[in-house]
Amino acid sequence: MLPKAQCERTGVRPVSDAMRDQKLYDRLINAFSMRDFLPTPAAPTGHDEFFATFDRFGTASGSHFVDMTLDQLKLYDGENVQYVEFMVSSWCPNDRERFAKAVGEASDDASKLAALEANGLADCVAAKRNDLAAAIGKITAMLGCETSNTQPGCGVTFRYIVQVYRNNSPDEVFVQAATAAALVRAEPRLVALNLVGAEDNLVARRDYTRHMQIIHFLANDVPVALHAGELWLGLVPPPDLTFHIRQAVEIGGARRIGHGVTIGFEREAAGLLAEMRARSVVVEINLTSNDLILGVRGKDHPLPAYLAAGVPVVLSSDDAGVLRIDLTNEYFRAARDYGLGYRELKAIARNALRYSFLDEREKRDQLERFERRSAEFERSVASGQSPLRNAVALIKAAVTAP
């Protein structure tokens, strides 16, 4: 991002112009999202468009951490979402070269971690924790949650998951994962770590098993959620479809799997499903995301297979801003495309709290709140007083439409 004066010198327009110029605004939104994307034979999925958006707005997003969190909390409050885990990058760019050099000179994982610790990992973690605490303090103050002047968003409890970018060198992934795991240990509001980035990327494919080994070594004592199985036939060679979910569960120790679309291609898939059920490994289902990015929808999607196998699932909007959707849309799709009824959708919503990364006391409180609000909603619908009294009829009409 450039100062306005520099923009004028280089012929680049300041972003503030978009708020006065509809055409520029539309171009900006289209560049930052999947809006107006239509599949064609030449581009049957939105894969490339989706992943390209992050570099476009990433330069600005880091300095707007507080603003973005506030905006999202207000949106979620309006959707009756009571708990959310935001994904956040949190590492020390000023230490990057020193950390990389220290890790690169070590021969095994234990030596790499020791080298990081000897070169200031604890200082990096302390600084990032202080930054987060200050940011959350600003968020809380601006929401006014402890005052009589509360703002929309106060009804949403929030935590953060630290993300590690998977399409870097193994040593870079090691440094980021070590930092993320240490932050989760140090700061209760950072509740887990995850890997992000295109899973079909050459680096992610080549180093996949190594990444799982890194996570196992560095994060075996902290909660882990991993994007795994966000692939499909034609996107990668068929062998890559056969092991990502299993390794995320068995080596990476994932408690939650993001996407999990390739479960039907996994070796001994039935056994893996049984293992996931026994270990209560949850699958985050992203119906719109999988449709637009992978072209996987309808009967091709594994949601019914997970439900039939008794594997717990939750519904997720993935990147709602990029996809131009909200969480309600995902529940609607589950009802429309897979015939899920109210009880099933309620159980899925409950799973989002039951399998969250909150501590047990907070989880119990959130579940009690969920049951109270659900009971209130059900009573209002039964009495015909709900403003949503026509919603059931609308959903039924959508589901049964030819």
3-state secondary structure 15-74: HHHHHCCHHHHHHHHHHHCCCCCCCCCCCCCCHHHHHHHHHHHHHHHHHHHHHHHHHHHH
For each of the domains in the chain, give its residue range(s) and CATH number, in order of start.
Answer: 52-383 (3.20.20.140)
Q: Specify the pLDDT at position 13.
A: 76
Closest CA to 334 of 315, 317, 311, 352: 315
More confident residue, 75 or 47: 75
Q: Specify the pLDDT at position 55.
A: 74
Decide if pLDDT at 72 tops 80. yes
pLDDT > 70 fraction of the chain, expressed in percent and rounded: 91
- Give the chain's mean pLDDT: 90
Q: Specify the pLDDT at position 389.
A: 56
Measure the CA–CA gap between 307 and 338, rounded to whole angstroms. 11
Measure the CA–CA gap between 50 and 294, rounded to whole angstroms. 11
Measure the CA–CA gap between 40 and 56, rounded to whole angstroms. 23
Q: Specify the pLDDT at position 280.
A: 98
Decide if pLDDT at 8 tops 80. no
Q: Specify the pLDDT at position 388.
A: 57
Q: What is the CA radius of gyration of the chain?
A: 22
**How many residues are there in the chain?**
402
Q: Which stretch of 46-50, 142-146, 274-278, 314-318 has the lowest confidence by average pLDDT? A: 46-50
Per DSSP, what are the bridge partners of residue 258? 227, 284
Mean pLDDT of 133-156: 88
Max Cα distance, the chain (Å): 70
Q: Specify the pLDDT at position 35.
A: 86
The type of residue at 211 is H
- Give the pairing type, strands 256-259 and 313-315: unpaired
pTM, two decimals, is: 0.88
Mean pLDDT of 257-274: 98
* Other C-beta atoms lying within 10 Å of the C-beta of residue 37: 16
Q: Specify the pLDDT at position 10.
A: 64
pLDDT band for 298, please (50, 70, 90 cuts): very high
Mean pLDDT of 51-72: 80
Decide if pLDDT at 1 tops 50. no
pLDDT band for 391, please (50, 70, 90 cuts): low
pLDDT band for 18, please (50, 70, 90 cuts): confident
Q: Specify the pLDDT at position 93.
A: 83
Mean pLDDT of 265-271: 98
Mean pLDDT of 375-401: 68
Measure the CA–CA gap between 305 and 258, rounded to whole angstroms. 16
- Say if CB 168 and CB 225 are below 8 A apart: no
Decide if pLDDT at 264 tops 50. yes
pLDDT band for 16, please (50, 70, 90 cuts): confident
